[in-house]
Amino acid sequence: MAEQDTKLSKSVIVSLAFIGILVVAAAVILLWPRGSDTDAVPPETTASQSTTAQDAEELAGIEPSACGLTPDPDMTMDTPPEQVEAITVGLVKVPSSEIFGPVEQANEVPICWQYSQAGAVSAAYTFAATATETARLTEGHLIEHLADGPGRDQMLETLQDAQENDPDSLGTTSAPIKPVGYRVLEFSDEAARVDVLIEHLEASGNYAAMAYQLVWQDGDWKLDVTETGDNYSDMRRVPDTADFTMWEIDE
């Protein structure tokens, strides 16, 4: 294990623009976790299995999509959608669709997803993929993808301060990663939690994962963060991908 961890510490290093792990405003160098192979795995809840219990009255309470996409809270992601297209986010391609999104772009990042499990997974994939081109996408990621709140305000303030006073601190590092799998941990009450499996492109077969807390806000999926801008869960190494549903676009 020691030899393996040494290898990971040298060759499996990722710089991520995940909000909440931002250091020096816009970029952070993050070691692929080197802990035990039994790193804590976010538990699934019964909400992830199905939302068919929602009745018409509850559906009427869902905020309409900002892009006019028809909600589909009853669909599940036990099997990924077959009819997908590729959309480039940063330096990688991720699944997209006119049905589940993203269908628009703002500040150089994709936006506008369907209220569905597929839309939530696609949004989480996009949030992860922005780390592949941090210099160009971080600002748009902060502006467009973060849910309104103190955490978003703090991250934008920190970014603006760095842009004005120390632009060199922002750096140009990006992550050689690609989202390749997922687990829908929760989906209910205009919120979702999606565990995204990420593969290191320069060290094939090395995986990590992070659970993204999403909220349906202003008719779109947004990344929910703490008051200090931290993500609600940490990245962890994944030695066995069996618990994930694999879903990726071939490059």
CA nearest to 16, candidates 8, 5, 27, 1: 27
pLDDT of 170 strictly over 70: no
pLDDT of 49 strictly over 60: no
Highest mean predicted confidence (pLDDT) among 22-36, 108-122, 136-150, 200-214: 108-122
What would the mean pLDDT of 91-120 be, rounded to a whole number? 97
pLDDT at 175 (0 to 100): 81
The full DSSP string for the chain is -HHHHHHHHHH-EEEE--TTS-BTTTBEEEEPP-S-TT---PPP-GGGT--TT--HHHHHTSPPPTT-PPP-TT---SS--SS-EEEEETTEEEEEBTTTB--EEETTEEE---SSHHHHHHHHHHHHHGGGGHHHHHHHHHHHHBPSSHHHHHHHHHHHHHHHH-GGGG------EEEEEEEEEEEETTEEEEEEEEEETTSTT-EEEEEEEEEEETTEEEE---TTS--SS--EE-S--TTSEE-----
pTM reported for the whole predicted model? 0.80
173 pLDDT tier (thresholds 50, 70, 90) = low
CA angle 77, 54, 114 (to 5 degrees): 45
Mean pLDDT lowest among 7-16, 102-111, 203-212: 7-16
